[in-house]
Chains A and B, each alone.
Chain A
Amino acid sequence: MPIMHRSHRQHRGKHAAAPQPLLPLSMVEAGQTVELVSIGECRRLRKRLADLGLNVGLNVRVVQNSFAGPLILAVREDARLAIGRGMAQRILVRLPLSTNGHEE
């Protein structure tokens, strides 16, 4: 199975130099797979999302994003999470180097 974790410590120092620009999750089109780079400042929220399987360093696929209302994400294989647009605007992501939607 694909290994979706990397220690995200490495991202912290790196994303300034990374070739891929960061963008808010809310801007990602349906069907694309992106890597979570940062999840806002609120610790409670970060922990809550991690409980649900969504933590920094993870690759998620955007299943639905209608540019209004909540988004649907595919998280850790088969789980589907709906998250509010407001929150998605504060989550920064990066398109992976290979943009075919898969990380191997």
Chain B
Amino acid sequence: MTTPQIVALAGNPNVGKSTLFNALTGARQHVGNWPGKTVEKVEGLITIGDRQYKVVDLPGTYSLNAYSSEEIIARDFIINEHPAAVVTVVDAANLERTLYLAVQIMELGVPAVLALNMADMAQRRGIRVNTALLAERLGGLPIVETIGSRGAGLNALRQAIYTQTNGTGRTLPQPVDYGQPLEAEIAALQAQIAADPILSRQFRPRWLATKLLENDEDLHARLEGAGYHPLIEAAHAAMERIAAQTGEDAETLITDRRYQMIAKWLRGAVQRPRSGVETRSDRADRVVTHPIWGVPIFLLLMWVIFQFTANVSAPLVDWIDATINGPFTRWAEALLNALSLAETWFGALVINGVIAGVGGVLVFIPVLFFLYLAVAVLEDSGYMARSAFVMDRVMRAIGLHGKSFLPLVVGFGCNVPAIYATRTLEDEDDRKLTAFITTFISCGARLPVYVVFGAAFFGAKAGNLIFGLYLLGIAIALLTGLALKRTVYRHKPPQPFVLELPPYRLPTPRNVWRQVWQRTAQFLRNATTIILAASIVIWFMLALPVRGEGRFNDVRTEDSLFGAVSRTIAPAFEPAGFASWETAGSLITGFVAKEAVISTMSQIYVQTADDAEVAGAEESQPAPRFADEAQELLRSLGEALVLTAQETVNIVPRTVNLLPGVHLGLADWLNRGEEAEETTALQDALIAAFTRTTGSAERGKLAAVAFNVFVLLYVPCMATVAAMRHEFGGRWVLYQSSYALLVAWLAATIVYQGGLLLGIG
């Protein structure tokens, strides 16, 4: 078979492009990012008759004017990739507006197909479209009615794509006559463009001429940069002549003319009942976007999403963790044993580096699954657009977009899904700004650190420390946002708030599932490498002896490269009061995962786990049989699923309990009760260690607070770094991480030195 031809799906946001795309391509899809952009790119392969096609789901755009990165992507794709056909998807119930993009794509002169999607919605509202008449008026453009969500009209759509790409399709006439004086000016510019071999090969001359008169900033800049100064001059002169003659901007005239043509085509071809009635969505919006009720409804939804990513996902996270550390590790050990590798450094690398690293990636699956589930439901139902509407005023006051709220809320559970949640923001700068500050939001993995330190140093008043740290995180996030708005993003013109509110719809499970699955898989593909690499590096650092008696893979932590590095960086924390190699070391492993701060400290300070681990496989209990273990695995999975359901149910009492004075019990179907953690030995060791380094108990307490402040703010864990690199690129991550480190160090130092100045200790 020959190389597949390219078919692009274009259309406004929310007209059902992705639904149609999914219906067309089924499971044969590939999700990635557009080169250099943070916009998702989805492609799929289909076969129609004897031909193969690569279908591309273009980002949603309202026009081919280049405003956002989405619009530039869509336009450049159509111009540069020369798709064999462009399927423009329009909303059959909303033709007058959605045809605006279709007209512009027809003007490009590419083979086109028009899909009137949402045919069911149109019918329900009593809108009848005479497609034959409309097709005739559009110069023979193939028009197909589709219902993406039910897969109706797909055969006709395939047929239309096939005919348009096998060479028998008709070249469409120019759709819009702009009238005088525009046509004369277009003709003049067009001649100038046609005379240039390079330009005329890349663009359809008439389209480019029209675009230049339309004052398209992106094209003006690009042509200017490529040395087409005279052409740009000519375009400006033409625009001036038009303005002088008509008293109007050329661009306004062009826009108006397109809408006039659309109205003319639709006259008689579309029958619809009188409009002006309040739709069901309007009625819902009277509550959902109400100036007073809108905010609590929004907050409630955010709270529920947070519950999903934090509590409902927890049993599955624990199950994956236990499976990797338990049976899976034992199987790997058995395998290594069989190969006589168990005692070698290679065996240790596999067990403690690779498998632990893979486990570190896999535990994010349930978290991301629930985030993407919530996001897909919110997006497909139409609520996401409303959330920006409702929160716009509040968020704008602090320099953020209304949609920035969701990532920040999700960040309290875990920063990784928070980074991905910024995808709901359309503007790239808004996304970057939001992602930049989310890492200061204290995630669930930092909490165990505060809890242990709080209990050790503040006893019953531990809650104050924890609450204070959360507040500090929020404050730093907001201040950073404001500062960035004033500096890095200062030159950006304030984005006008215009937003389409799509009608509310019931999300289709198939659509939701597909998004969830694609995005989660994409995380796995992209994050695994970096997380694995970091785990292996840390393992090597722990295994390499740099002093003392130790040999490779058999060395005390203190004498390892890890210990040496920790000792080297420890003095940097002198001003903050915690300059011991143990604390520095725990901060290094804390980069792998923040909760590792505590496990490393207990390993170094308490050294209980240490000896048990070195003992090796033979001395532990006899290895369970494979079959038993597999059975146990299934049993624990069943249990985890029960707990997942239980936590879903528990969202209700947890939510009701937010009301002051109410306290509903939580469901506890497996009679687990609250888990109590054994930390006393570690707590005593911590107090002793911090007192030792600072010289007094009071100062030790101060240093402990400073240390927690540092843990809150410094570089997020490597999974977050992997997510950020995936979304925004390596350089951006470097800026973000450096900034976070600096802020963390400054804040910790201010706490410690400030405390000393105030006479504490």
Contact = CB atoms under 8 A, between A and B. Distances in A.
B464 interface: no
Contact of B256 (A57, A64, A75): A57
Nearest to B62: A51
B498 A83 contact: yes
A46 B252 CA distance: 8
Interface string B323-359: 0000000000000000000000000000000000000
Contact of A9 (B217, B246, B259, B263): B246
B291 A66 contact: yes
A28 to B, nearest CB: 15
Given A66-B290, A69-B291, A80 B97 contact: no
B289 A72 contact: yes
B274 A102 contact: yes
B276 A101 contact: yes
Contact of A5 (B260, B291, B498): B260
Interface residues of B, number: 53
Interface string A58-90: 000101101011101011111111111011000
A55 B499 CA distance: 15
Contacts of B67: 44, 48, 51
A80 B501 contact: yes
B215 interface: yes
Contact of B498 (A12, A74, A77, A87): A87
Contacts of A72: 285, 289, 389, 501
A47 interface: yes
Contact of A84 (B217, B263, B498): B498
Contact of B499 (A56, A61, A68, A81): A81
Contact of A55 (B255, B266, B497): B255
Interface size class of A (residues with CB under 8 A): 35 or more
A97 interface: no
A76 B260 contact: no
B94 A78 contact: yes
B501 A8 contact: no
Contacts of A54: 498
B272 A1 contact: yes
A52 B94 contact: no
B392 A51 contact: no
Contacts of A1: 96, 266-267, 270-272
B500 interface: yes
A8 B256 CA distance: 9
B551 interface: no
A58 B497 CA distance: 20
Interface in B35-65: 62-63, 65
18 contacts: A1-B271, A5-B260, A12-B247, A44-B217, A44-B493, A47-B215, A51-B62, A52-B97, A53-B100, A63-B278, A64-B285, A64-B286, A66-B290, A77-B93, A77-B94, A78-B503, A80-B282, A84-B497
Given A54-B498, A63-B285, A64-B285, 6 more contacts: A44-B217, A53-B96, A64-B289, A69-B389, A76-B96, A79-B500
**8 closest Cβ pairs, A-B complex:** A84-B497, A51-B63, A53-B97, A80-B501, A66-B291, A50-B255, A51-B62, A76-B96
